[in-house]
Amino acid sequence: MVEKFELTNAIGISVGINNFKLMSYTPTGLGVKFNNNYNNYQTYFKLTKQSLSQGQFNAKILFGSVVSETFDSFQKFSEFLAYQPYTMTYTSDSGTWNREAMLSEMTKSEIGSSSYDPNLLDESFTLEFINNWYNNKSAEYKSYDPDPNLGTYGKIYRPKYDQYVNRNLLLDSLTQTKSGTWPWGNGGWTEEWGTYLGSKIYRTPLRWDNARYSYKDLLDRGVINTTDDFTYSVYFRVVGEDPAGMSYASIKFISEATTKDWNVPVRLTSLKEGEWTRIVVTFKFKDIKYDPARDYKNSIRVEVPEATRAPGARYEFAAPKLERGNTATDWTPAPEDKLAIPFEYAYAPYYVYQESNRPSNEKVMSLNNKSQYFGLQSGSPSVITVKGPCSVNPTWTVVQKGNVVATDGFALKLTDNQQLVVSSHPEDQYARLYNPDGSYVDVSQLQDYTKTNFVQIPEGESTVLFYLDADSDVNITFKEERLLV
């Protein structure tokens, strides 16, 4: 892949320097250089101080492709350079990164002095970088529909997610597919009825119509064996008619020609209509009668025996899970579904948690900063935007591994059309209150000086707790930075 450099000046005009008009070559200065001081003892050297040298980008630029264009190309580039600073966008096989710079040198000679092409202007171009390579990462708080059952769970603690422990072996358990597409068979369930535990709810019109999951998918992916215990679970409820006449539901393992049932008692007479029950069964796959000739028909499903079915009842299913072992653990989607943390509002790193009756003015964001600073910097600059209304003094706290690492807050209120914007960028640090017309006032004097102020986002995983109104919105943009890309 050909490396590509693009510059954007302070008024937003962009110019590429890898084309026939501006052909850069022999670029240097894309790496990193440290200034190291040592104490010498015998044959050993102990580092006493390390600092970063300011980076310089240098390249030769050939202007134009023919002699009649060379001076015009140079003139247009010089007009572009008049507006500093510049943002360099560098694209290579490792990705795309940005960096701000100021002009250090732009030479100007005459035609005939170039050894590369004597008919064109061939000049030296030097920039001085003023920050690190970076990409902007954003996080935005999203509201949710509270789970009415959270009150029974109390505080929810979540350690670091491990996709190999108690993992869900069913793909698409969050969404399933009512159309019967692979790996879910067509059980005939008809509609989505909201969500439960983050998984879609499906309602079935008949006693045996429900989500069927194919054995073949499990066999093809090699996630099951015949010797270990496995546990299948699914949440189930009855709606629409008093289920007093029902005594149990069952999980069935089906190969069409032969069926092995595990009847799991679900004392529906003790349930209120619409109350969720988790049906669980532990088994070994060696006990399943698998018919290879009908591999697309072999499946796991839940059904209500006809003898115990209420004639007008409807059945709903959600959050199916198949896992290794003999214990049903909390439902999570499969790691292949890339939804390892289904409850953004309920789970937080280390000991941080949300109460079941969470304060309406508390909002939580989980961040993962993959910056690399070689030990020279502890966090990345950020821009935090709080959107009104906010009738309380907005404050926020950054927590990492159980420790408070940064805090900020302001003694002010926001109307429903105002925004508080706080930047911790070293080259552009500010706290502003913006009005709908784009005007703003500086509010740094209203900052709570008992806090660390102008927070930076630490490397690695962290949690940010905001204390705002229930109707307030907030988002964070922070720099994922590298000294070397």
Backbone φ, ψ for residue 391 (5° rounding)? -95, 0
Q: How far apart are CA 449 and CA 323, in angstroms?
A: 51
Section 120-147 average pLDDT = 83
Instruction: Report the C-alpha gap between 146 and 337 in whole angstroms.
Output: 23
Q: Is the pLDDT of residue 348 over 60?
A: no
Residue 480 has pLDDT above 60, yes or no: yes
Lowest pLDDT segment from 88-97, 233-242, 376-385: 233-242
Going through 309-411 in order, the beta strands assigned E by DSSP cover: 314-324, 362-369, 379-380, 382-387, 395-400, 403-409
Q: How far apart are CA 301 and CA 14, in angstroms?
A: 58
Alpha carbon distance 482, 485 (integer Å): 6
* Residue carrying structure tokens 């990164």: 97
The amino acid occupying position 151 is G
**What pLDDT is stored for residue 409 in this prediction?**
95
Task: Name, in order, each residue with C-beta under 8 angstroms of 165's C-beta and a sequence gap of 6 or more.
Answer: none
Which amino acid, 301?
Answer: R
Helix (H) or strand (E) holding 446: none
Higher pLDDT, 221 or 55: 55
Is residue 236 within 8 A of residue 278, CB to CB? The reply is yes
In eight-state DSSP terms, residue 308 is G
Q: Look at 179-183, 292-296, 375-379 and tell me which has the smallest mean pLDDT.
A: 179-183
Bridge partner residues of 299 (DSSP): 214, 254
pLDDT bracket for residue 199 (50, 70, 90): confident
Task: Tell whether the model's pLDDT for residue 159 goes beyond 50.
Answer: no
CB neighbours of 397 closer than 8 A, spacing ≥ 6?
404, 406, 407, 464, 465
Buried b (16+ CB within 10 A) or exposed e, 247-272: bebbbbbbbeeeeeeeebebebeebe
Averaged pLDDT score across all residues of the chain: 79
> What band does 142 get if pLDDT is binned at 50, 70 and 90?
low
Q: Is the pLDDT of residue 338 over 90?
A: no
Q: What is the pLDDT of residue 191?
A: 54
Measured CA to CA, the distance from residue 101 to residue 212 in angstroms comes to 59
Q: What percent of the chain has pLDDT over 70?
A: 73
pLDDT band for position 146 (cuts 50, 70, 90): very low
The predicted model scores a pTM of 0.56
Stretch (H or E) spanning 67: helix 67-81
Say how far apart CA 234 and CA 275 lie, in whole Å: 14
Coil vs helix vs strand at 287: helix
Report the pLDDT value the prediction gives residue 456, as an integer from 0 to 100: 95
> In angstroms, rounded to a whole number, what is the distance separating the alpha carbons of residues 123 and 22?
11
In the predicted structure, residue 140 carries a pLDDT above the cut 90: no
pLDDT: which is higher, 140 or 339: 140
At residue 249 the predicted structure's pLDDT band, cuts being 50, 70 and 90, is low
